[in-house]
Homo-oligomer: A and B are copies of this chain.
Amino acid sequence: MTSRTDQKEQTRQHILECAADLFRTQGVAGTSLTDIMTEAGLTHGGFYAHFKNKEDLLAHSYTAAMDSSREEWFEDIIEHEPEEALRLLINRYLSRDHRDNPDEGCPMPALLGELEKEGLCATEAEQALRTSIHRAKPSVAQARHLSPEAADAETVATFATMVGGMLLARSVADEDYSNYILKSCRAFLKKEIR
């Protein structure tokens, strides 16, 4: 019985990952359940053995994507000194590579716009954001020599700039201008503009 249960759990995780990828690339409304199941190498009918409905899948896949994404971002960053850690985070988040690969990138710029309509996953989105901010806060506090409260506010605003910068960079047709947007936001966050 274990093997079959394991198999099902594995399939569930696989669906979750495929969904997160497709949602980030094509949008939630632009991705059908059939798209997702096909991408997972399955057929559409089996979907409801794993999830209650599309919204249920969305909530789980958003959280899962935020978790694994956060894991990646902070995995090796924590090893560095605070100043370097913050610099690395900013450079990587606002990179061309991140811009060009939304399917494996941060879910926030890719999905928040759609989630907020109709209050979809508002609780999941909030919890995931809070966790990410909590994770980045120590580096910000030390790198900038800030009190805990000030560091929290600064971290929130830093995230806003990174998410907004990525959104703008992705929405622009001209690649040079898109690169310029990324560069400007990096310089701004690294306080290099004067």
Contact = CB atoms under 8 A, between A and B. Distances in A.
Interface of A: 25-30, 108-119, 122-123, 125-126, 129-130, 146, 150, 152-154, 156-165, 167-168, 170-174, 177, 180-181, 183-185, 187-189, 193-194
A173 B163 CA distance: 18
A184 B116 contact: no
Contact of A161 (B123, B146, B152, B157): B157
B157 A184 contact: yes
A126 B173 contact: yes
**Secondary structure type dominating chain A contacts:** helix
Greatest chain B CB density within 10 A among A110, A152, A156, A183 is at A156
B177 A113 contact: no
Contacts of A111: 113
Copies in the complex: 2
A100 to B, nearest CB: 12
A146 B173 CA distance: 28
Contact of A126 (B110, B154, B174): B174
Closest 10 interchain pairs by CB?
A: A164-B164, A113-B113, A29-B29, A157-B188, A122-B173, A153-B184, A160-B164, A160-B165, A163-B164, A156-B184
